Structure 1
């Protein structure tokens, strides 16, 4: 990574306001990897900076995977529990913000990507990307048997909309359980699709986006994604 002036850089990483970060320098909390004290107008590379001997939080351009539990909102300001409560406190103060890539509603769990890279975010959510998103749904009533054909037809239109849905694939897992693969991301799409066929989603979990799956990531936990996983995300 390129070398940067430290005062603004640390403030943008969420370590405090400029005044607070100046205090870190004044009190000798900031040093390089060799232990030499650093100051706000010094220039260093990200990996050469330490605060109280600890490496910095991830550099700008991060991409992380969160296993979102139900009961958490994808917001910085809503009341109640927020996804940022599951991340290091500084992450909600970074500039640019570490933002969710698309959203999962409060009652939906599973794979949520987050990034501070606006270009990457828009590449993932852009309609032309058509990255598959796979959900597991538990329903209030038994499946009728014709839902798969309806969802795959490309002729279904949701209430209040004027464009047809792209074809989606339904895999029946049980009388009231199904796996649904979408290639677009409309508001509450899975729930509204089942309403359109006379059913109701009682529980919804996202298992996969593109080539990425949650794997063994525990609920409520997160991890950074490496370059190989970024490539896998877009491998369909």
Structure 2
């Protein structure tokens, strides 16, 4: 792929704008030597204004989504793309969220421009566990874990029961839920079905991958070892 197209696809600008960057000498190799549009250079050796080029297509990210952000490109409020470099929103192929967390849910959000990886993660066949920690409005009654694990719980307006889900009590009004499916607002609707209300919801883990000490609002690139850990469950 020609360097102009490569850099434009990474969101640094239109092809015309990138061509102008070449003319201005802003694109160099790792030693600082100016590059030209028809040069052949390894991706890792390219610099723009002295900074390494963003990762190529096949990018996967972990984002620690705070409360108040939506998984959308069009919402009038704050969106998860606001947490990333602006050019990430302009990448081609598109950098998409892997599933969604609603505005009032914090925690791990995965993003990728790799369609095959996205499908592998969200496919029902993968059955990747998703772990949520819920803070509730009322004390737990004691029978919730059995109800969630039964595989018979039917949510309002649903035609099929939920797959069994595991629940661990963390406190009188706190619980950890592990799901292997992803229905709309599932955890909130599960607790509503047993007469409770979720006041706060956080997702610390997907598959074998944990947020760890990644601060809220921050992100990091996932490497091959991270992706192996994700599916190692």
TM-score scaled to structure 1, two decimals?
0.96
2:92 to 89, 92, 95: 95
Aligned ranges 1:15-30 → 2 under 5 Å: 15-30=12-27
Q: Deviations over 1:48-92 (max 9, x none)?
A: 211122210122111111111000011111111111111111111
Matched, 1:135 2:132: yes
Deviates more, 1:31-40 or 1:220-229: 31-40
Task: Supply the distance in 2 between the matched residues of 1:80 and 1:45 (Cα, whole angstroms).
Answer: 39
Please state if 1:123 is matched with 2:123: no
Residue 163 of structure 1: CA displacement?
1.5
Deviation at 1:44, TM superposition (A): 2.5
* Runs of 4+ that moved beyond 3 A: none
Q: What residue in structure 2 maps to residue 41 of structure 1?
A: 38
> For the aligned residues, what is the CA RMSD?
1.1
Segments of 5+ residues of structure 2 without an aligned counterpart are: none
Determine the C-alpha separation between the residues in 1 that align with 2:42 and 2:114.
Answer: 19
Deviation at 1:43, TM superposition (A): 3.0
Contact 1:50 1:56 in 2 (8 A): yes
**Residue in 1 aligned with 2:229?**
232
Listed one character per residue, the Cα deviations across residues 138-189 of structure 1 (whole Å, up to 9, x for unaligned) are: 0111111111111000001111111121100011111111000000111111
How many residue pairs get aligned? The number is 233
- Whether the aligned pair in 2 keeps the contact of 1:5 and 1:44 (CA below 8 Å) is no
CA–CA distance in structure 2, aligned partners of residues 21 and 159 of structure 1:
52
TM-score, normalization by structure 2:
0.97
Match of 1:185 in 2: 182
Partner of 1:108: 105
